[in-house]
Amino acid sequence: MEIRGPILLPARREDIELETLDGLTLVGELATPQDRPPVATLVTLHPLPTAGGFMDSHILRKAAGRLPALADLAVLRFNTRGTTSQRGTSEGTFDGGRAEAFDVAAAMDFVRERGLPRPWLVGWSFGTELALKYGRDHDIEGAVLLSPPLHRATDEEVAAWAGDPRPLVVLVPEFDDYLRPDAAAQRFASVPHAVLIPVEGGKHLWVGENQTRRVLTEIVAAVNPDALPLPVEWEGPVVGQE
């Protein structure tokens, strides 16, 4: 069977709740390899909820559907405050990336409490802002940024990563709506060790199976390169399609 679209490969999937320091309950899901421990963990941060972003935004959903089986990764997804998906609605209200600092902290507390290994932040669009603003405060191995708009993360917050040895991998679509490769190179020039990856033909929403595979491949290249190349076909059973 070809691996494409919303296919769900075998994994252990658990509905979870995160508790924030300011007293909110956030809903989410943890997907882990079915019959072996994960080698690393993706803590995913979704796009802007006021523009339709949530934990089921397609790249994050497909990461959870495929990467536990294909790359031995744990994938944590959750709705930030005030965000709704099929999983449910997280308490609170959207705060433009300010109080969401507590949401990121709650996810990292969960990772630590569960003993999940080698956490990486994977932010998409608005989620990249959260990763840039708050990721350095937590025990992560690095961060992968998908389509960073750099609307809320200031130049100072970006430049602060220059003094941090942890990897910063930045995927920038050729035809992004907000920040294209040439402009991204200028905005991230303050972080010499940042790896900027222009994606030919890419758009902000990474629509289409070719773009999905490119994004998932770059994530795995950063986090668990031994799992590459990612298979495009699956010979075993599948759980289904969402």
pLDDT digits (tens, 9 = 90+) for 121-163: 999 999 999 999 999 999 999 999 999 999 999 999 999 999 9
Give the model's pLDDT for residue 242: 46
Average of per-residue pLDDT across 52-68: 98
Q: What is the CATH number of domain 7-232?
A: 3.40.50.1820
The pLDDT, as a whole number, for residue 237 is 83
Whole-angstrom Cα Rg for the chain = 17
Q: What pLDDT shows up at residue 241?
A: 58
Q: How far is CA 29 from CA 25, 87, 112, in A?
A: 13, 8, 16
In order of 139, 181, 187, 215, the CA distances from 40 in angstroms are 13, 29, 29, 17
CA 44 to chain centre: 3
Share of the chain above pLDDT 70, in %: 99
Is the pTM value of this prediction over 0.75? Answer: yes
For residue 4, what is the enclosing H or E element? none
Close Cβ partners of 155 (under 8 Å, ≥ 6 residues apart)? 187, 190
Q: How, if at all, do strands 12-19 and 7-8 pair?
A: unpaired
Domain extents for the chain?
7-232
What pLDDT does residue 173 have?
A: 98
Q: Locate all alpha helices (DSSP H) within 85-172, ordered by sequence.
A: 100-114, 126-134, 155-159
Percent of the chain with pLDDT over 90: 97
Of 44-48, 72-76, 137-141, 237-241, the least confident: 237-241
Report how far residue 29's alpha carbon sits from residue 74's, in angstroms, rounded to the nearest whole number. Answer: 10
Is residue 109 helix, strand or coil? helix
For residue range 9-21, list pLDDT tens digits in order: 999 999 999 999 9
Res. 36: pLDDT tops 60: yes
CA distance 100 to 193: 27
Give mean pLDDT, residues 102-117: 98
Mean pLDDT over 89-115 rounds to 98
Check: CB of residue 145 under 8 Å from CB of residue 123: yes
pLDDT for residue 62 is more than 60 = yes
Mean pLDDT rounded to a whole number for the chain: 97
Q: What is the mean pLDDT of residues 98-104?
A: 98
Tokens of 61: 């959903």
